[in-house]
Amino acid sequence: MKIKLIILIPLLLFLTGCYNYRELNDLGITTAIYIKKDKLYELTIEVLKTEKEDSKEGDMPKPVIFKSSGTTIQEALRNTILKSPKRLYAHHMQVLIIDENLAKEGISDILDLFFRDPESRKQFFVVVSKDDEILETDSNLTDTNSKSMYERIIANKNFLGNIVPVTFTNLLSKYLNPNIEIVLPSINIKDDEIVFNESAIFKKDKLIGYISNEDTIYLNLICGKIKDTVITSKDKNYITVEINEAKTKYKVEDNKIEIKLSLIGNISEINEQIDLINPNSINHIENIFEEEIKNNINNLIRKISDYDTDIFGFQDIFYKYNKNFNGLKNITINISVNMKLKYKGNGAYELYER
């Protein structure tokens, strides 16, 4: 019996591999989908062109754009068969782009469709777009494909922190959680280039407004999502620090939440004469940033309260401590910031002494 199993398993693996290889030749590898809605759902779909006859050895596959429409998203996807010679395959999709106007109507139908799709990995990023030619290849844009957007999101997550990278899995988790609201990166075209210049904020499944990239940094600080970022003080002359370690702790008592931020960084640029050898000077700069960050966070919280949405997840934090918690209207939020600057920069002191 053991001998039969040893022979049978490799045979099954071999046959399965051949089947998948033949099937992939008939699939259109979909890397990005842009969805908008007028009277019908209108889709722009980026598919990799994998045929070798039009490319040299070593060249990356070029994207081909297909457009289709339908009364539902699924119907629009099926209608691409009239233009694409291959069936769409979304397993390798990198970006899902939702039109701003459609996001204002609600994205629940989109979430439902891709959740039920067994072929997609659910790890693609989701963004909101203010431009409807975001995937066009016949425009004058220099960098519009999904690979570029994907790489920019990853780079931003690791080095800037001024957008909120959201995979479809993350998005679905937030949507299903009644105690936290959705935030998505927003893209548009500026000077023939795709830029991430705002974050789209939601109430339930509907887009209701935007916050700036700077505000998004403070949002990520509150939520403990900063890996590395740069903050510039507006106090007198500009001073820039690079934050490379950030920790966020919450303490909840009754209807009060205390948020403690512990930040470690270094001075990367300074435009005034300060003796950086003197510890008092460093403490002064730390105090400047602590106060500015605290004020900016409080300003952001007040700004978001006008939208009556909880993108910070405060309600979710309270609910973990008190299952009978009944809303954010009467809560008190206290922010404390502790900044430590470790590296002052080579030659900074001599520069201002000459």
| CATH architecture for segment(s) 228-354 | 2-Layer Sandwich (3.30)
Q: Are 258 and 250 in contact (CB under 8 A)?
A: yes
Distances (CA, A) of 325 to 251, 257, 258, 264, 333: 15, 13, 16, 34, 15
Report the pLDDT value the prediction gives residue 160, as an integer from 0 to 100: 92
Query: 239: which residues sit within 8 A by CB, 6+ positions away?
Result: 232, 233, 267, 269, 270, 271, 272, 285, 288, 289
Distances (CA, A) of 185 to 83, 165, 168, 213: 31, 7, 13, 9
Question: Which residue shows structure tokens 């777009």?
Answer: 129
pLDDT in tens, 272-305: 777 777 778 889 889 999 999 999 999 999 999 9
Q: Whole-model pTM?
A: 0.85
Report the pLDDT value the prediction gives residue 25, as an integer from 0 to 100: 61
Please report which confidence band the pLDDT of residue 21 belongs to, taking 50, 70 and 90 as the band edges: very low
Region of poorest pLDDT, from 235-244, 252-261, 332-341: 235-244
> For the chain, what are the domain ranges?
28-211, 228-354
Q: How do 27-37 and 183-190 pair as beta strands?
A: unpaired
pLDDT in tens, 107-128: 999 999 999 887 788 899 999 9
Q: Are 334 and 297 in contact (CB under 8 A)?
A: no
Q: Would you state the structure tokens that stand for residue 284, as one six-digit string?
A: 């002064």
pLDDT in tens, 56-82: 555 566 788 899 999 999 999 888 877
Mean pLDDT calculated for residue range 221-245: 88
Q: Indicate whether 144 pLDDT > 60.
A: no
Mean pLDDT calculated for residue range 136-145: 52
User: Is the C-alpha dihedral spanning 202, 158, 143, 214 positive or negative?
Assistant: positive
Report the pLDDT value the prediction gives residue 281, as an integer from 0 to 100: 83
Higher pLDDT, 173 or 253: 173
